[in-house]
Amino acid sequence: MKKPKISLKMGLVATILVCWLLPILIVAVMAAVLLGSSYTRAARQELDAAANNALRLVGMQLETAVSDSKEVSYDGVVKAAYLNYLQTGDSAALYSAVNDYLSQDFTREELYRAVFITFWDADADAYVLSGGATGYSLLRQCQQSAPAIVEQMADADTAIRMLFLDGQMYMARNLLDSTFTPYASVVMAIDPADLMRPLQAVGRVQDICYTLDGTSFRLDGDGAYTLLEQEAAGDVRYLVRAEEHELAFTARLEPADLWRDIPSLPGMVAGAALLVLPLLVLMVVLFSRHVTRPVETLAQANRQVQSGQRGYQITGTAPNAEFGRLYDNFNAMSAELKRQFERLYLEQQATQRAKIKALQSQINPHFLNNTLETINWEARLAGNGRVSAMIEALSTMLNAALDRDDRAQIPFYEEMGYVDAYLYIIHERLGGALRVRKQIDAAVKEQLVPRLILQPLVENAVEHDITARRGGELTVRAFQQDGRMVLEVEHDGAMTKADRENVRRLLSHPEEDDAGGQVGLRNVHRRLKLIYGDAGTLTVTEQTPGTVLARVEFPL
């Protein structure tokens, strides 16, 4: 089974779309890949810069806190008050001096939520809130954490430690006397959210983990921390050192989304597509006007010629020079086809008329010879009025054979007159031994039929069977069936093997001159083929033993 071919229209449309859209698509994809890669690199560089800058800010705050804790030790105010306490035992004076000192130096610091000094052997701890922090609960939390802070600072000497106790982060440093013995600890309650705020502002990261002096934690949305057993893994890690403290920052990267990060990008892409679309529409319109429509016009003209309108001309104007030449060539071809067909038709008609005349000339001598022999036989036997009637019948037959009016087709009733004239002559010859029946449909009497199409069949039946048997029954039928004219001659007789072979040969090869004595059948068959082609048929069959049927069919 052949694979159906793609039409020229569909092929060219597909070619335009591929050659137009595919390069645009390839360029767009490559641009998107390159732009995405460039944007990812730029985003990473931006992240590195922002994270390092934020770490520096956090480190500076840690250095400030460390410096503030050292000032408490170096300026000697707390130490002097503590020495006075050792001499006087006045804890109230110690508390008042320390509280005034803390209030003066730390209440306005935004970094600390609270600052307090807890003495290891005196009941004079001083607490102040700083940075605008308020609330008894914060002071209470610091007081509750103080014993644990002192415990963890027992072996710290002068080192600064970051402590995470009861949900609060502290920076603690011991205060030493002249013998370098710790007597108190200065503690700063630091809000981790405030400390890490610069890092929290870094974009394009998620699942942030902070590690301060080896302690890892996360911050939730309320600023509360959650301690982790170990530093969480991440896509990026940044590190900063401030004094003796080390702060690490790890996080996972958020996927770079160009469409999300550049809100105007979808509009820019849509605008570019809208600019390309009119060009594509223009290309399709021009293609349809200059290629598709002219091709359809040529195809329609070709269908008109195939349907029988030979000489059909394309009257429209071609949209371009190339199809203009095709239009002119088609019109010239169609006109030449019409001239050739008309010439061939006239030549065929002349040939058919010549062949029909030749066949009729073969029929005339054959029939006249038989008829004259019959009349001669009657004239010898008896001289009476029957001879006059036979001569009139012969005159009718002569008119049919000579065809003086040159009509190739005649009404059926006229053809039946020739048959009746012939049967009259034969009846006079055989007498009552010949029995004739006629079954003629009244609807076919005016139907045009080829001249001498039925009489040769009747003559063939009489000469080959009826005469040899010295009588018999002969039936002539004429009727219409499925838009075709049907003529039948059925008579008493038999077909020998030689007869069947002769009939087969003359019907298969009507051009052969040797018809085995079946001249009438051969001439009828030739004329049917000349006039009607394959639509005209002649068959001779033996219906039942002792009955032969000759049947002719041709279109009405």
Residue 337 within a domain: no
Q: Are residues 501 and 520 in the same domain?
A: yes
Strand order of the sheet with strand 484-492? Answer: 434-440, 472-481, 484-492, 547-555, 537-544
Residue 53 within a domain: yes
Q: Are residues 281 and 377 in the same domain?
A: no
Residue 320 within a domain: no
* Model pLDDT for residues 21-37, shown as the tens digit of each residue: 677 778 667 766 666 67
The predicted structure's pLDDT at residue 187 = 92
The predicted structure's pLDDT at residue 260 = 63
The predicted structure's pLDDT at residue 285 = 76
Q: Are residues 469 and 455 in the same domain?
A: yes
Q: Are residues 196 and 300 in the same domain?
A: no
User: How many domains is the chain partitioned into structurally?
Assistant: 3
* Model pLDDT for residues 425-453, shown as the tens digit of each residue: 888 777 778 888 999 998 899 999 888 88
Residue 329 within a domain: no
The answer to whether residues 410 and 458 touch, using CB atoms and an 8 Å cutoff, is no
Q: Report the chain's mean pLDDT, rounded to a whole number.
A: 80
Q: Are residues 257 and 273 in the same domain?
A: no
The answer to whether residues 35 and 258 touch, using CB atoms and an 8 Å cutoff, is yes
The answer to whether residues 360 and 530 touch, using CB atoms and an 8 Å cutoff, is no
By residue count, the chain amounts to: 556
Q: Are residues 502 and 520 in the same domain?
A: yes
Distances (CA, A) of 513 to 327, 365, 517: 51, 16, 10
Biggest CA–CA distance in the chain, Å, is: 196
List of residues 6+ apart from 235 with CB closer than 8 A: 251, 252, 253
Residue 463 within a domain: yes
Domain boundary among 226, 246, 262: 262
- Ranges of beta strands (E only) in 243-332 are 245-253
The predicted structure's pLDDT at residue 507 = 79
Distances (CA, A) of 480 to 24, 42, 300, 386, 441: 71, 95, 39, 37, 8
Rounded Cα distance, 112 and 192, in Å: 10
pTM of the model: 0.47
Report the CATH number that the domain containing residue 387 is assigned in CATH.
3.30.565.10
Q: Are residues 149 and 276 in the same domain?
A: no
Rounded Cα distance, 548 and 168, in Å: 129
Rounded Cα distance, 363 and 370, in Å: 11
Domain boundary among 245, 262, 279: 262
Residue type, 172: A
Indicate the SS3 state at residue 517. coil
Domain boundary among 227, 262, 297: 262
CA 353-354-357 angle, to 5 degrees, is: 85
Q: Are residues 84 and 232 in the same domain?
A: yes
List of residues 6+ apart from 382 with CB closer than 8 A: none
Q: Are residues 245 and 279 in the same domain?
A: no
Choose among 191, 195, 193: nearest CA to 242.
Answer: 195
Residue 401 within a domain: yes
Residue 382 within a domain: yes
Range of the structural domain that residue 271 is part of = 265-309
Q: Are residues 497 and 531 in the same domain?
A: yes
pLDDT in tens, the chain (556 residues): 555 656 656 666 677 667 766 777 786 677 666 666 776 787 788 888 888 898 898 888 888 888 888 888 888 889 888 889 889 988 888 888 888 888 888 877 778 888 989 898 878 777 877 765 566 788 888 888 889 998 999 898 888 999 999 889 999 999 998 888 899 999 989 888 888 888 888 888 888 899 988 899 998 888 888 899 898 888 888 888 877 788 898 988 887 666 666 667 677 767 766 776 776 677 777 777 777 788 888 788 888 878 777 788 888 788 888 888 888 888 888 888 878 777 776 656 656 665 656 555 555 555 665 665 676 666 666 665 566 566 666 656 655 555 555 677 889 998 898 888 888 888 877 777 888 899 999 889 999 988 888 888 988 888 888 877 788 888 999 999 988 999 999 988 888 888 888 888 877 776 565 545 567 788 888 888 888 888 889 988 887 888 889 999 999 8
The predicted structure's pLDDT at residue 487 = 93
Q: Are residues 157 and 191 in the same domain?
A: yes
Name the strand (E) or helix (H) holding 384.
Answer: none
The predicted structure's pLDDT at residue 391 = 64
Residue 204 within a domain: yes
Integer Rg of the chain from CA: 63
Q: Are residues 17 and 112 in the same domain?
A: yes
* Model pLDDT for residues 38-70, shown as the tens digit of each residue: 767 877 888 888 888 988 988 888 888 888 888
The predicted structure's pLDDT at residue 6 = 61
